[in-house]
Structures are given as structure tokens and as C-alpha cells.
Amino acid sequence: MTSTYLVTVERFIAASPEKIFDVLATPSLHSVIDGSGTVKGDQPNGPARLSPGAKFGMEMNIKVDYKILNTVCEFEEGRHIAWRHFYGHIWRYILEPKNDADGKPGTLVTEQWDARAVRGKFLLRLAGYLRRHPASMELTLRRLDQYVTG
């Protein structure tokens, strides 16, 4: 599902929600699973594992190197995690235990980029984020799948 400022992608991954959550809650692994090619690594002195309200920085690159500070704004251990950065948009992951078509257990992973509460949304559109995010998010979930099941 994609709406103007809420982009959602889903993927079934044959791993437990807890195993997937551990990857998402580990900032040093974000660059490993990132499908956009913009996340280069976590900043030193941040938490090794995310928790409610945790602040963590990431080394980024979109044509130039920069740093971004995020704050965990939604957190339910093993099921749901989201963080927001200064501009206000949210990256969210929802993990739902499911069985695949053959009855094998796993997790339906939903990733969302939520910019509905952001002021100046037109800047996001001008920068091309709305066009690029769906494919990048699908690649992120594919990489997450490969990391936890590989």
C-alpha cells in the first residue's frame, strides 16, 4: 500500500519475529540491510541495541556525507519498532507471526515510511523520496530476509 506520504511494503520472512526484531533493534546492522544505499553505518557512542526513547546516529550519504540523529518513538519488544529523525518522518517496522502457504512459521514484516505529520511535505516530493522509497524498501526487506535466513 502506498499513499502520498505513507509508503508501506510487506514481505513474509521465514524467521521468528524476535530474530528479525534483534536485527532492526541493532543500529550497526542497519547499513547491512539498507536497500537505499544511503545508510553507511552507525555513529560511535550510540546504543548497541535500541530501546524506547533511545537516540542513535547514523552515517549517511545522498551525494554528500552527512549524519542523522534518530529517536525511537514506537517500541514493542519483538513486534514493533519505529524511529523519527529531526525532520519528523518515521521509519516503522511491524512484525506479525504468520504461517506461509505451506503452513511453515515465519513473520509478516511491514515496513513503513510515514511522513504524514511532516511540515513542508512538498520538499520530500521535490527531492524524489516518494518515487524512490517503495523500491528501496522492498530491497531492504529482501536484504533483511537474506540476513536472518541466509
Tens digit of each residue's pLDDT (9 = 90 or more) over 81-132: 999 988 888 999 999 999 999 999 999 999 999 988 888 776 766 666 666 7
C-alpha cell at 3: 499513499
Point out the least confidently predicted range of 44-53, 83-92, 130-139: 130-139
* Cα–Cα distance, 46 to 77 (Å, whole number): 19
Decide yes or no: CATH 3.40.640.10 for domain 2-149: no
Tens digit of each residue's pLDDT (9 = 90 or more) over 9-27: 999 999 999 999 999 999 9
Q: Where are the domains of the chain?
A: 2-149
Q: Residue 3's pLDDT band (boundaries 50, 70, 90)?
A: low
The reported pTM is 0.92
Burial 70-91 (b: 16+ CB within 10 A, else e): bebeebeebbbbbbbeeeebbb
